[in-house]
Amino acid sequence: MPKFAANLTMLFNEVDFIQRFKAAADAGFKGVEYLFPYDFDKNTLAEELQKHGLTQVLHNLPAGDWAGGERGIACLPDRVSEFQEGVGRAIEYATALNCKQVNCLSGIAPQGVDADKVKQVFVDNIRFAADKLKDAGIRLLVEPVNTFDIPGFYVNRTEQAIALLDEVGSDNVYLQYDIYHAQRMEGELANTIQKHLARIAHIQLADNPGRNEPGTGEINYEWLFKFIDKLGYDGWIGCEYKPAAATTDGLGWIKALA
């Protein structure tokens, strides 16, 4: 059975963020992830993890003005210094939280900028981050995100992401494979996971359409989980979905796997 981590940005929104650590533990989760830790004191977050016996599985690099609609800055030529500063901040938090991997959101491709320049900026930024994170004992992940939900998102397909990681040329950068985003952009979930298993350091899930919990849409998760187990994937799977109702009411899909 896969190891599931509760995404505290998406799940347990019935309570305030800090209370979600307890809620996740009470629901049986052993790991947690969330988009960003930076609005909270890192020692407070570390205390919550320890208090509830949770592993911090993942968080993202700083991604610009999220509330203002930015979805990452790694591909933006005029934000390189900000990106590099964000890597340092991510290392501080990940170290305090004993989080062994962080994810990079590429951002929305800037209009009116040469495509080759955008690509080079992204590759250079990822190479910089991978090196700095490696020194700190932290893996870097890159996540393709579908362009239906975020039009213009720069890294949006698995093969594109793999080609970019190959160009980066670091042994410390991996693929974050989000099943929901992949289903929307390309399908072929099982074959793609199998093909790139060695490059996948983290998986996330949600069903489609709706981005709700497994069993609410078109993806045959019961079969897919067995397939992923058969492949030997031993990483975490982050539950990054929008509960259709109360979070705990929608966790039956996990109990059914036991």
Q: Would you please indicate which residues are annotated as catalytic (active-site) residues?
A: 143, 240
128 three-state secondary structure: helix
CA pair distance 205, 208, nearest whole angstrom: 10
140 three-state secondary structure: strand
Helices (H), the chain: 20-26, 42-51, 80-97, 115-135, 158-168, 179-185, 189-195, 221-231, 252-255
Cα distances (angstroms) measured from residue 257 to each of 211, 214, 215 = 20, 12, 12
55 three-state secondary structure: strand
Q: Please, is 5 exposed, middle or buried when counting C-beta atoms within 10 Å of its C-beta (0-12, 13-18, 19+)?
A: buried
Cα distances (angstroms) measured from residue 73 to each of 44, 84, 132, 234, 241 = 27, 10, 17, 30, 24
Give the tokens for residue 235: 């990483």
CA pair distance 134, 170, nearest whole angstrom: 10
How many Cβ atoms from other residues are within 10 Å of residue 228's Cβ? Answer: 23
